A = this chain, B = another copy of it.
Amino acid sequence: MAKKAEQRRKQILKAAFQAATEKGYESVTLQDIADYADVSKGVTNYYFKNKSDVFTQLFEWITTRIYEKEAASISEQETAIGKLEAYIDRVFISPEENKNFYRVYLDFLSQVKNNVSYKEINQKFYENCWSIGREIIHQGLEEEIFEVDDVEQTAISIRCMIDGSLIQWLMRDDDQLHDYYRTACYESILKILKYKK
């Protein structure tokens, strides 16, 4: 029974995600979600406390998923450079694949200031991101190819660079620029790490 409920919950979250990608966070209605999930309107209220509850859980799901994919990508690599490359490639995954994820994530970001839960979820996401940065830095220090004096600050800066590049890429929304921003981001991070090849 709990299995069925969990399945329904996921189904509704996916519908909410799809609705959000196509209509934008704020303008999504409970009816939209129900339509995308192919159920009637009441179901959403049966499985979720209210609309806000749906979106809170969706935000958590999205940030967790982004992190897990990133973490999985770097763990497949042995070297610092390999990890960093895998990381950036995952962030700038081919147009359309993860683009929607980051678009909806940006939607949520703009809501963080109005919602304490969102802020906490995002804080957790940041901490996950920083841990990825630390892992890459430590590996690079071990290999003696990076020169970093403040590991924590550098890990934070890496994510700043990634988010900044990602957003600028998303905003310009030109598939031609995909490679450009991925490369620019990657090379900037190498400089921040004072990479000596």
Contacts and interface: CB of A to CB of B under 8 A. Distances in A.
A111 to B, nearest CB: 7
Interface stretch (A3-11, A34-42, A50-58, A154-162): A154-162
Interface stretch (A66-74, A78-86, A135-143, A163-171): A163-171
Interface in A138-197: 153, 156-157, 159-165, 167-168, 170-173, 180, 184-185, 187-188, 191-192, 194
Contacts of A153: 180, 184, 187
Nearest to A27: B26
Interface residues of A, number: 41
A126 B172 contact: yes
A14 interface: no
Contacts of A25: 26, 110
Contacts of A163: 163-164, 167-168
A184 B25 CA distance: 32
A89 interface: no
Contacts of A112: 171, 173
A24 interface: yes
B171 A160 contact: no
A7 to B, nearest CB: 30
Contacts of A173: 112-113, 119
A27 to B, nearest CB: 7
Given A110-B106, A184-B153, A192-B191, A126 B160 contact: no
Contacts of A157: 161, 165, 184-185, 187-188
A122 interface: yes
B171 A188 contact: no
Interface in A89-122: 103, 106-107, 109-114, 119, 122
A184 B156 contact: yes
A113 B24 contact: yes
Nearest to A26: B26
